[in-house]
Amino acid sequence: QTTVEPTSAERAEKLQGMGCKRKRVEDIRFTQGKGNYVDDVKLPGMLFGDFVRSSHAHARIKSIDTSKAKALPGVFAVLTAADLKPLNLHYMPTLAGDVQAVLADEKVLFQNQEVAFVVAKDRYVAADAIELVEVDYEPLPVLVDPFKAMEPDAPLLREDIKDKMTGAHGARKHHNHIFRWEIGDKEGTDATFAKAEVVSKDMFTYHRVHPSPLETCQCVASMDKIKGELTLWGTFQAPHVIRTVVSLISGLPEHKIHVIAPDIGGGFGNKVGAYSGYVCAVVASIVLGVPVKWVEDRMENLSTTSFARDYHMTTELAATKDGKILAMRCHVLADHGAFDACADPSKWPAGFMNICTGSYDMPVAHLAVDGVYTNKASGGVAYRCSFRVTEAVYAIERAIETLAQRLEMDSADLRIKNFIQPEQFPYMAPLGWEYDSGNYPLAMKKAMDTVGYHQLRAEQKAKQEAFKRGETREIMGIGISFFTEIVGAGPSKNCDILGVSMFDSAEIRIHPTGSVIARMGTKSQGQGHETTYAQIIATELGIPADDIMIEEGNTDTAPYGLGTYGSRSTPTAGAATAVAARKIKAKAQMIAAHMLEVHEGDLEWDVDRFRVKGLPEKFKTMKELAWASYNSPPPNLEPGLEAVNYYDPPNMTYPFGAYFCIMDIDVDTGVAKTRRFYALDDCGTRINPMIIEGQVHGGLTEAFAVAMGQEIRYDEQGNVLGASFMDFFLPTAVETPKWETDYTVTPSPHHPIGAKGVGESPHVGGVPCFSNAVNDAYAFLNAGHIQMPHDAWRLWKVGEQLGLHV
Ligand code: PCD
């Protein structure tokens, strides 16, 4: 009996490498409640810290009396700005080049701002002590409306920088002005507009929302005074950046700081920045010499750490009568709240808003952004979008719709007419980005054919007639969005954080028996990196994915990286992983050549082994080569098999997609039902199709949330109205529509495995798609642009304004 050698294809399948719907290995612990989150960290003698927060949005602090709180048994310390001042820690630097009060210094600038930090034996005593801290406030006039921020008599918010008329991004025009950022060809754009046949202009507001991950922001700081070492566990999307920041602001040497991000219960951009809670926990631990834990509650999370959006975008398109777009002009008024704590790469005060020309070929464009201070929480994070890309895509995808209406043209046709064509890639967009690859017409056609676009339009027309005749109270909307994302920040030539270039890294070690440990500078918050990075290595090195352990989040062991956000892990650390694996493979080839007594060039790679060309029975498997590397390396070659790569990507990656939403709205109740949602994504080479599908489902669900209900609102006194899940819409399985996913594959030409990011795409494409569906439904009633969020109450109001209600 002869045993049949498995074929190459059979061996490849066993590896569970790229392209395989490998089950998520991390889910074994997550689904059994065995994850290890920050709140699971329990250390001997650990104390608990909590904040006294401002009840006012803008007020002077006349006095803070901590004596009653300090007298409460179980209270160890109450810190105020006065305690931090001598340490120069009452302000901390923000990623946007501003400073932010760690504890309010003489005045408060938004409701729920941190005023004092109570450290007690447990969270219950801390909660009681908070009530005992007496703060005497003198209310000041409140500024909520960003459009009023730069009026001559607008209240002065930032007294700490009132004489500083130049900020991190140039001149400030007013005491509430943060920056003006301009990009593009202003003169050329203005000239084109001046002679354009059609100018279509609208103001689109992208309301204030919050990433609201299920696990809030939290940390445990533990200072070992004997060793002079600080260990900081925290919900950090970018652990190494946190280590550097802590070192810079505390003066502790960076090698004596151990930052550990254990399992994270969702990030969505919320866990990129540095917050007062981290600083206060660290200071308290240094002062008291025991570990201190800080855990936000839901209200604190929603109302103080990192909001997203709050962009007011005046968007204009210049076009010919037959729908050729000639130019885009956009002005954004950006409400950044009380401190400019936007999490963007340093040079980009408005993130990558300059991707706002979208998927369309136009010769010129101009973008200007003014950032202003208001009495609201600071932040401005990329809640599931790569630095303001969701805003940019919302602007262009709404603008395309309103232009189509003005031209009385079908909006799908208008898109197709203006698409950047496949042969134009790499395509230099008018606001400076070079799109790497794309095939937009193909994706659009596939999507339109699948949903039966033209039949849908016919059905909609019939429904509109029926509505006008009074036969139905239901209207139908067809939402389209065609988006181009920009992910993978990024090339060091244009992206850094606090001066550190935005590369990322991977370190791979092969053990003697052929199993592997690999570490990256990124940090999964649920994305499934333990599963997918192993798949890249499996395919590159011919080692089964199950034999590869992926570790992230410990700054002592992982190579330096800039973390996970902006869908950058695949474009950066994913690339580093492939490159590091290829270094190992090159060394393995030298070992194989030595063992098989041939030249390296006489070998060929076959899934998991090197074979001698023309002598297929002579080969060495990766497993054998691993052993040999420790046991009998060729002379002059150092033993072992490991490699590190720090990958500075040559360009971003530009995933894209075509989304369609079919919606039915009852005009009398304002209830909108999503009948069908179809999402076609192109993220280049697909590492794990099942994970991609999960990413798309998650991103679409958050898009549904944002478009259809989520909002952090403020009243005129600056009271925050959306700070609990009673008011802030977090959809459950009950409300969430069914998602239909599809794909095309246009590899990235510069990425080692051709992959682009995907995690944020569905959110970026999803929000305008929902909003376009709603707007499309009401368009035949001449509703004009309807602002998000489109919850039932607001849509009911639209019906009222249009006089539809009987
Ligand atoms: N992938 C594949 N393929 C491709 C791509 C990708 O497979 N081509 C996959 C990977 O591997 C992973 C994922 O998928 O796993 C994703 O990826 P990406 O795209 O690269 O990304 P990443 O970096 O990793 O991540 C990030 C993202 C973000 S950004 C967000 S928001 C969100 C997302 O992610 N988040 C989250 N998703 C998620 N999921 C979960 N679960 N959780 C969470 O938290 Mo930002 O900026 O932060 O805002």
CA 790, 791, 797, 799 torsion-angle sign: positive
- When pLDDT is averaged across residues 41-64 and rounded to a whole number, the result is 98
Is 32 a residue of the active site?
no
| Tens of pLDDT, residues 697-712 | 999 999 999 999 999 9
Q: Is 572 in the pocket of ligand 1 (CB under 6 A)?
A: no
**Residues 605 and 11: beta-carbon distance below 8 Å:** no
- Enumerate the β-bridge partners of residue 764: none
Give the pLDDT confidence of 520-565 residue by residue, as tens digits.
999 999 999 999 999 999 999 999 999 999 999 999 999 999 999 9
The answer to whether residues 315 and 328 touch, using CB atoms and an 8 Å cutoff, is yes
Q: What is the tens place of the pLDDT at every residue in 785-798?
A: 999 999 999 999 99
Average pLDDT over residues 365-386: 96
pLDDT digit string, tens, across residues 612-637: 999 999 999 999 999 999 999 999 99
Does the pLDDT value for residue 361 go beyond 90? yes
Which is the catalytic residue, given 237, 405, 527, 695?
237
d(CA 317, CA 186): 14
Q: How far is the CA of 760 from the centre of ligand 1 (A)?
A: 7
- Looking at residue 583, its pLDDT comes to 98
Residue type, 786: I
Helix ranges, 111-159 (H):
123-132
Reported ipTM: the value is 0.99
Instruction: Tell me the average pLDDT of the chain.
Output: 97
Selected catalytic residue, list 22, 384, 609, 611: 384
Q: Residue 1 — pLDDT band, cuts 50, 70, 90?
A: low
Q: Is 385 a catalytic residue?
A: yes
Helix H or strand E segment including 792: helix 792-801
Mean pLDDT of 260-280: 97
Q: For the chain, what's the residue count?
A: 806
- Quickly tell me which residue has 């009060």 as its tokens: 101
Query: pLDDT-based confidence at 806, cuts 50/70/90?
Result: confident
With cut-offs at 50, 70 and 90, classify the pLDDT of residue 3.
confident
**Ligand 1 site, residue 683, Cβ cutoff 6 A:** yes
Decide whether any atom of ligand 1 lies within 6 Å of the 526 Cβ.
yes
Residue 519 pLDDT greater than 80, yes or no: yes
Return the ligand 1 atom nearest residue 522 CA: 23
Q: Please indicate whether residue 379, judged by its CB atom, sits closer than 6 Å to ligand 1.
A: no
Q: Which of 311, 321, 447 is nearest to 379 (CA)?
A: 311
Residue 578 has pLDDT above 70, yes or no: yes
pLDDT of the residue at 490: 85
Calculate mean pLDDT across residues 316-344: 97
Is residue 5 pLDDT above 90, yes or no? no
Task: Check: CB of residue 576 under 8 Å from CB of residue 649.
Answer: no
**Would you say 208 and 266 are in contact if contact means Cβ atoms under 8 Å apart?**
no
The pLDDT-based confidence of 480 (bands split at 50, 70, 90) is very high
Give residue 155 CA to ligand 1 midpoint distance, Å.
41
384 lines ligand 1 (CB under 6 A): yes
Does residue 2 carry a pLDDT above 90? no
Rounded-to-integer distance, Cα 223 and Cα 119, Å: 15
CA-based nearest residue to 709, from 794, 802, 598, 583: 794
pLDDT (tens digit, 9 = 90+) per residue, 742-784? 999 999 999 999 999 999 999 999 999 999 999 999 999 999 9
